[in-house]
Amino acid sequence: MKIEGLLSEKYIKLNLELATKAEVIDRMLLIAGTHPGVQNLSKLRHDVLKREKEMSTGIGKQIALPHAKTDAVSVPVLALATLKNRINFESIDNEPVGVVFLLATPEEMLAEHLKFLGRITRLAGRADVREKLMAALASSDVLELFREEEKDFPQI
């Protein structure tokens, strides 16, 4: 599976107007919570927030990647949002965040979870990809971007 295979237009929101890290995580959970693979939204919220308390998922380069390995989902779930105004996410590089991914995978899918985290970090960590994400006007543009960027990548 590839990133564009995990995402669909329903789980991509562009230019959200949010002001705090907590608001961003809450909105990402609401977006992801509509996915049929989410079995227990309150458990997913608990697991994502627990992971966030361990260490901020502001991974640098204006990207946040809240995530959890959890039995709250039956399949990998991915949501993406861009923010109208960058916000403080307590990132490792102290840069405010403009692109947010939320990833949740079943606990038994540790290898896939790590591969998805790595692929998202590699792709979104590129300045050209980030710029295209921030400039996207439609969810379909985001899907096409990942389709194009991952065309030569192996399946996870």
Catalytic residue among 35, 46, 67, 113: 67
Active-site residue flag, 67: yes
22 and 53 Cβ atoms separated by less than 8 Å: no
Q: Is 41 exposed, middle or buried (0-12, 13-18, 19+ CB in 10 A)?
A: middle
34 and 10 Cβ atoms separated by less than 8 Å: yes
For the record, the structure tokens of 106 come out as 């079943």
Rounded alpha-carbon distances, angstroms, from residue 33 to 17, 107, 150: 19, 17, 26
CA pair distance 94, 91, nearest whole angstrom: 5
63-64/58-60 β-pairing: antiparallel
List, by residue number, the catalytic residues: 67
